[in-house]
Amino acid sequence: MIELGKYQTLTVVKRTDFGLYLGESNAAAQTREHTILLPIKEVPEGTMVGDSLEVFLYRDSEDREIATTAKVPLTIGGLAVLKVKEVSKVGAFLDWGLMKDLLLPYKEQTRKVEEGDQVLVTLYLDKSKRLCATMKVYHLLATNSPYKKDDMVTGIVYDAIDSFGVFIAVDNQYSAMLPKNEIFTKIRIGDTVTARVINVREDGKLTLSLREKSHVQMDADAEMIINKLKANKGYLPMNDNTAPEKIKEEFGISKNAFKRAIGKLYKEGSITITEEGIKINN
């Protein structure tokens, strides 16, 4: 059965001036029930009638079934990160190395994409038997990653839910989440992030953090606060009674992390903590 969106090994049935017609087997040369064109510019040198070729099947700009010997990054049910080439009234068009760009309909976007964005997508056939992309890939991500607690991983953000956090495909294939309480900076769908595994759930999904282990992160946070103090003439109107939202806005860290860092600086004699704020010691 000839199927769009997949690589298949087909047999050369007929040669013409504009390309080869391919079928499922030599029997197709006799029945010709379903053949598909491989354009002449795609034909490997020396190919003869009766030879077998591995080709990818899709529809061209005139909506005709067509074959290509090109290596495309995405097949039905697979995953790939593709670049948004153009945005139009019907959706976004992605560059996947073929003459006809791949449509990402608006209803298949987990957020509105823009030209130049990188997005993780899978390939599917719509009701009209056209190949389209979708950013709704959660069900395709694997849960058997080789990673364990405290490993550093890299992945792409493919979805976000305000009440939960952002969802990340580690290595573009493993299911992971960055919880809301671990987010202290703006993260967009399509961003590539490096994070630390803080938990491997029973179902195999990863829970991530953008921060190092607390004792390592505390040193970095303390240095950042000292630099902020120096840039503000040695004083900041903030202490351990400051609202968490204000601390997050100013420093990009949680209130607990802030308290650990200023506690460290206080013990070292680097700062003084007052009812009004913190000041650097000369």
Angle 240-242-246 from CA coordinates, rounded to 5°: 130
Residues 6+ apart with CB under 8 A from 79: 120, 121, 122, 137, 140, 141, 169, 172, 173
Is residue 23 domain-resident? yes
Per-residue pLDDT for 28 more than 50?
Answer: no
pLDDT of residue 32: 53
Per-residue pLDDT for 129 more than 70?
Answer: yes
- Same-domain check for residues 199 and 258: no
pTM of the model: 0.73
Per-residue pLDDT for 34 more than 70?
Answer: yes
Of 68, 103, 121, the residue that ends a domain is 68
- Same-domain check for residues 246 and 199: no
Is residue 74 domain-resident? no
- Same-domain check for residues 200 and 253: no
pLDDT of residue 265: 85
- Same-domain check for residues 98 and 114: yes
- Same-domain check for residues 93 and 123: yes
Q: For the chain, what percent of residues have pLDDT higher than 70?
A: 95
Which comes out higher in pLDDT, residue 95 or 269? Answer: 95
Q: Which domain holds residue 164?
A: 141-209
- Same-domain check for residues 23 and 60: yes
Residue 100: CATH number of its domain: 2.40.50.140
Of 137, 153, 185, the residue that ends a domain is 137
Per-residue pLDDT for 40 more than 50?
Answer: yes
The DSSP secondary structure of 64-108, one letter per residue, reads: -EEEE-S--S--BT--EEEEEEEE-SSEEEEE-SSSSPEEEEGGG
Tens digit of pLDDT for each residue in 165-211? 999 999 999 999 999 888 877 889 999 999 999 999 999 999 998 87
Q: Put the strands of the sheet holding 235-236 in their side by side order.
A: 235-236, 278-280, 271-273
- Same-domain check for residues 238 and 261: yes
Is residue 166 domain-resident? yes
State the average pLDDT for the chain: 89
Residues 6+ apart with CB under 8 A from 125: 4, 5, 76, 131, 132
Of 68, 94, 120, the residue that ends a domain is 68
Is residue 239 domain-resident? yes
* Residue 196: both structure tokens together: 């630390």
- Sorting pLDDT into bands at 50, 70 and 90, what band is 213? low
How far is CA 209 from its chain centroid? 17
Per-residue pLDDT for 100 more than 70?
Answer: yes
pLDDT of residue 29: 43
- Same-domain check for residues 223 and 243: yes
Q: How many domains does the chain have?
A: 4
- Same-domain check for residues 20 and 64: yes
Is residue 75 domain-resident? no
Q: Which of 112, 184, 162, 161 is nearest to 195 (CA)?
A: 184
Tens digit of pLDDT for each residue in 250-261? 888 778 778 888
Is residue 32 domain-resident? yes
